[in-house]
Amino acid sequence: MHAETRDPASASVPADGDRRVSLAWRALAAVDDPEIPALSIVDLGLIRSVELASNGTLEVGLSPTYLGCPATEVIRSSVEHALGGAGVGAFAVINVLSPAWTSDWITAEGRRKLESYGIVPPERSAASLREILHPHRAVGCPRCRSTDTECVSEFGSTPCKALHRCRACLEPFEYFKCI
């Protein structure tokens, strides 16, 4: 666990607990994912909790998607920046490893945004082990809806996505992997 406490200049304006929590959520909802800017980190389900600790610090629980995801540090500093400018008072960003982030936590709004951005949202419910090791279902094309598609690469521009190609409309597309 890493925690950093910041005291932004606006901390001098006291706000009650509920107000601080809702200000924080509003600020966090405006933080885009650096690699999929169509989605906010709240859409991705990366914010696990926003809670007022007994010492008055607002604790924000943040989960990484993948342990080696290069965006993790950018996200963390964007979160700190957004909270610092939102007048939420003293806050701490806490790294939450457990329970491990799952693609099931992407919100309904997040799934809708992914789809309209051209990325197929992950299948629900991170899969039994066997299902990941022996995939049998084809991913549907986000453009023409055909299921006559093939996986071109298990890994795409980020670890969380795979590259696919539609054999019907011949367009390439990305699939957000179920994890």
Partner 1 sequence: MSTVSPAAEVREFDADAQALFRYVLRLGDLSLVLGQRLGEWVGHAPALEEDLGLANLALDLIGQARSLLTYAGEVEGRGRGEDEIAFLREHGEYLNAILAEQPNGDFGQTIVRQVLIDAFQLELYQRMTASTDPRLAAIAAKSVKEILYHLRYSRGWLVRLGDGTVESHARVQSALEALWPYTVELFAEDELDRMMADRGVAPRLSDVQAAWRGRIDEILAEATLQRPKDRPHSWHGKRGQHSEHLGYILAEMQHLQRTHPGARW
Q: Are 6 and 80 spatial neighbours (Cβ–Cβ below 8 Å)?
A: yes
List 92's β-bridge partners, or say none.
5, 59
Q: Are 72 and 162 spatial neighbours (Cβ–Cβ below 8 Å)?
A: no
Q: Is 59 helix (H, G, I), strand (E, B) or coil?
A: strand
State yes or no: residue 3 binds partner 1 (CB under 8 A). no
State yes or no: residue 159 binds partner 1 (CB under 8 A). yes
CB of 102 vs partner 1, minimal distance in Å: 8
- 27 or 59: whose CB is closer to partner 1? 59
Which of 9, 13, 108, 129 touches partner 1 (CB under 8 A)? 129
State yes or no: residue 66 binds partner 1 (CB under 8 A). yes
Nearest to 72 by CA among 39, 102, 46, 49: 46
State yes or no: residue 100 binds partner 1 (CB under 8 A). yes
Nearest to 126 by CA among 156, 94, 100: 100
State yes or no: residue 34 binds partner 1 (CB under 8 A). no
Distance, in Å, from the CA atom of 39 to the CA atom of 48, rounded to the nearest integer, reads: 16
- 116 or 153: whose CB is closer to partner 1? 153
CB of 89 vs partner 1, minimal distance in Å: 29
State yes or no: residue 61 binds partner 1 (CB under 8 A). no
DSSP character string of 20-31: HHHHHHHHHHT-
Q: What is the binding site for partner 1 (CB under 8 A)?
A: 64, 66-70, 97-102, 126, 129, 132-133, 135, 152-157, 159, 163, 177, 179
